[in-house]
């Protein structure tokens, strides 16, 4: 754990230079972008299912894609909820 505390010099943070604040910013940015992309994909796929004329042969692929994107969004939102726990590992 002491070696993690000595890693402060690797972080280019002007205010505090702490690894935990840097990780918080990185996790917030990555999870925000990832969650936004997956939610946008869910909305687009849902619109295609509702208003598109999809053949019965291909409807299973659309529902699989919809559930996969929902799962991806849940993963990113979950990682955003646990960012304080992740940053606590480096305190």
pLDDT tens figures, 32-61: 999 999 999 999 999 988 888 778 888 888
- Tell whether the torsion through CA atoms of 70, 71, 76 and 79 is positive or negative: positive
pLDDT band at 72 (very low <50, low <70, confident <90, very high): very high
* Long-range Cβ contact pairs of 36-43 (< 8 A, separation 24 or more): 38/69, 38/70, 38/72, 38/73, 38/76, 39/73, 41/69, 41/72, 42/66, 42/69, 42/70, 42/73
Domain chopping of the chain, boundaries: 2-88
What's the whole-number mean pLDDT along residues 55-83? 89
The pTM of the full predicted model, rounded to 2 decimals, is 0.67
Rg value, the chain, Cα: 19
């Amino acid at each position: 754990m002491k070696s993690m505390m000595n890693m402060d010099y690797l972080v280019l943070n002007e205010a505090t230079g702490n690894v935990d604040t840097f990780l918080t910013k990185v996790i917030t940015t990555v999870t925000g972008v990832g969650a936004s992309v997956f939610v946008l994909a869910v909305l687009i796929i849902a619109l295609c299912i509702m208003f598109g004329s999809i053949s019965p042969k291909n409807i299973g692929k659309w529902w699989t894609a919809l559930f996969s994107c929902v799962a991806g969004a849940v993963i990113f939102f979950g990682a955003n909820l646990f960012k304080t726990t992740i940053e606590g590992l480096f305190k």
